[in-house]
């Protein structure tokens, strides 16, 4: 039993069959994104409070492996599920740190409220990351732009087919060494404008990080892939075709006069932690930042009149990835070529520098995990 200062106790059952150092080195040499998983997982279960019992219990580290679940478990039928994404970064002295984990813990609880799941105390969220990374520390890569992607998630495990919030829930964390989300070297990506599908609607779950939002993006993602694109852009057709977000990341626009614009949070858009960090760093660098409505027409017109210089996607997985082109059924919006003075790339370098300990963490964003 490992007890921390907060009194959350995690028991540890370590695997008898960890990957060998050679197997792990082969994976870390080319981790890709989301293909490989570490040797362990963190778990905390929850039971609804009946007769004074219940709540979060049985915090543990156990070997990574399949989850035994009743076929009637609510998550399998009604998708009562939420997740998070954050990363653990190796610093030059070998220590391992995570970035703005409190923000992810807070967003996790907002998602939990929307999906009628129990809130997890933020200190348990952070302790679960610390426990998992401590046992799987050797899996944290150190290459340029690489990190250990941490995926906390919560699923409804009660076996019951009526439609109501589950009275049994499991919180888990898995970890996966990660390089560039889009594979290979970083380069501008092409994205596809989805005109037939919406990702979210008013009053829906758009700003929650729940699996259903990502499932709803997949038909459009297939359309994108058929057009040679890596991601989909969703609009709000009921709001002048305002730009919302990509299938799995937020979007930013850089204007030649130094303004940086991103769609305002409106209930449909994910409260991206990277989005928020970009706004802060851009403002620190003297940019005027605007969170507001930006329509597809404004995007087109500002490319035509030369006032738009860069468009980029951002998220924990994508970090900051320039968008080279938006393909639509009626033609393409091609971004100007990326110059050596790229604002997106400068902010990307600063962000990665803070995360990996080579740039001073002026905002107190880092938490040591191991």
Subset of residues 98 to 157 that bind ligand COI, contact rule: CB under 6 A: none
Instruction: Specify whether the CB–CB gap between 290 and 261 falls below 8 A.
Output: yes
Q: How far is the CB of 317 from ligand COI (least distance, A)?
A: 3
Please state the closest distance from residue 357 (CB atom) to ligand COI, in A: 21
Number of residues that bind ligand COI (CB under 6 A): 6
Go through 273-297 and write b for each residue having 16 or more CB atoms within 10 A of its CB, e for each that does not: bbbbbbbebbeeeebebebeebbbe
Q: Which two tokens stand for residue 48?
A: 């609804």
Closer residue to ligand COI, CB minimum distance, 178 or 311: 178
Residues 128, 44 contacting (CB under 8 angstroms):
yes
- From CA 204, how far away is CA 245, in angstroms rounded? 15
Q: Which residues pair with 368 in a beta bridge?
A: 97
Q: Could you say whether residue 317 binds ligand COI (CB under 6 A)?
A: yes
Min dist. Cβ of residue 315 to ligand COI (A)? 3
CB of 248 to ligand COI, least distance (A): 4
Among 157, 316, 321, 342, binds ligand COI (CB under 6 A): 316
Q: What are the φ and ψ backbone dihedral angles of 217, each rounded to 5 degrees?
A: -90, -10
List beta partners, residue 231.
Answer: 191
Q: Find the shortest distance in angstroms from Cβ 361 to ligand COI.
A: 20
How far apart CA 362 and CA 280 sit, in angstroms, is 11
Judged by CB under 6 A, does residue 75 bind ligand COI?
Answer: no
Which is nearer to ligand COI, 59 or 317 (by Cβ)?
317
Q: Which is nearer to ligand COI, 84 or 127 (CB)?
A: 84
Residue 60 or 151 having the CB closest to ligand COI: 151
Q: H/E/C letters for each residue in 61-106?
A: EEECCCCCCCCCEHHHHHCCEEECCEEEEECCCCCEEEECHHHHHH
Of 114-122, 261-269, 301-309, 312-320: span binding ligand COI (CB under 6 A): 312-320
Question: Distances from the Cα of 231 to the Cαs of 22, 277, 311, in angstroms?
Answer: 34, 22, 14
The structure tokens 């949070």 sit at: 265
Out of 85, 141, 206, 324, which residue is the one contacting ligand COI (CB under 6 A)? 85
To the nearest whole angstrom, how small is the minimum distance from the Cβ of residue 316 to ligand COI? 4
Binding residues among 198-217 for ligand COI as defined by CB under 6 A: 214
Work out whether 248 is an interface residue with ligand COI (CB under 6 A).
Answer: yes
Q: Which is nearest to 87 in space by CA: 31, 154, 20, 46?
A: 31
Helices 273-284/343-356 angle, 10° precision: 110
Within residues 165-194, the interface with ligand COI by CB under 6 A covers none
- Contact call for residues 176 and 151 (beta carbons, < 8 A): yes
Residue nearest to ligand COI (CB): 85
- Residue 30 makes CB contacts below 8 A (sequence gap 6+) with 179
Residue with tokens 């890709």: 32
Among 118, 177, 263, 315, the residue binding ligand COI under the rule CB under 6 A is: 315
From 37-45, 124-132, 238-246, 310-318, give the range in contact with ligand COI by CB under 6 A. Answer: 310-318
Which span sits near ligand COI by CB under 6 A: 49-57, 115-123, 171-179, 315-323? 315-323
Binding mask 324-343 for ligand COI (x = CB under 6 A): --------------------
Residue 271 beta carbon to ligand COI: minimum distance, rounded to whole angstroms: 12
Sequence-distant (6+) residues with CB within 8 A of 233 are 191, 192, 193, 194, 243, 244, 245, 246, 251, 326
List contacts with ligand COI (CB under 6 A): 85, 214, 248, 315-317
């Amino acid at each position: 039993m490992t007890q921390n200062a907060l009194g959350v106790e995690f028991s540890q059952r370590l695997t008898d069959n960890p990957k060998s150092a050679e197997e792990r080195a082969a994976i870390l040499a080319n981790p890709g994104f989301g293909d490989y998983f570490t040797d362990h997982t963190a778990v905390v279960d929850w039971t609804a409070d009946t007769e004074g019992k219940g709540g979060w219990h049985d915090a543990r580290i156990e070997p990574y492996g399949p989850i035994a679940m009743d076929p009637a478990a609510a998550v399998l039928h009604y998708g009562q599920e939420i997740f998070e994404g954050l990363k653990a970064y190796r610093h030059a002295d070998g220590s391992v740190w995570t970035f703005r984990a409190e923000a992810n813990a807070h967003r996790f609880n907002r998602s939990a409220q929307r999906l009628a799941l129990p809130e997890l105390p933020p200190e348990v969220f952070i302790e679960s990351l610390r426990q998992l990374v401590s046992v799987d520390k050797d899996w944290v890569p150190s290459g340029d732009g690489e990190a250990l992607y941490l995926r906390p998630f919560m699923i409804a495990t009660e076996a019951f087919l009526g439609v109501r919030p589950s009275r049994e829930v499991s919180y888990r964390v898995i970890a996966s060494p990660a390089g560039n989300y889009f594979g290979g070297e970083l380069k501008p990506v092409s994205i596809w404008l989805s005109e037939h599908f919406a990702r979210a609607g008013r009053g829906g779950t758009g700003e929650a990080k729940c699996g259903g939002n990502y499932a709803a993006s997949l038909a459009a993602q297939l359309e994108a892939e058929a057009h040679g694109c890596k991601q989909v852009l969703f609009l709000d057709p009921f709001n002048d075709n305002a730009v919302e977000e990509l299938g799995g990341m937020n979007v930013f626009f850089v204007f030649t006069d130094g303004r940086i614009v991103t769609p305002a949070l409106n209930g449909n858009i994910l409260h991206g932690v990277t989005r928020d960090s970009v706004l802060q760093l851009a403002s620190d660098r003297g940019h005027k930042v605007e969170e507001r409505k930006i329509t597809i027409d404004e995007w087109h017109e500002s490319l035509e009149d030369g006032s738009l210089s860069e468009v980029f996607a951002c998220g924990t997985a994508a970090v900051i990835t320039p968008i080279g082109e938006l393909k639509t059924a009626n033609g393409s919006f091609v971004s100007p070529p990326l110059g050596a003075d790229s604002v997106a790339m400068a902010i990307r370098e600063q962000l990665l520098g803070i995360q990996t300990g080579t740039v001073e963490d002026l905002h107190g964003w880092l938490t040591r995990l191991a």
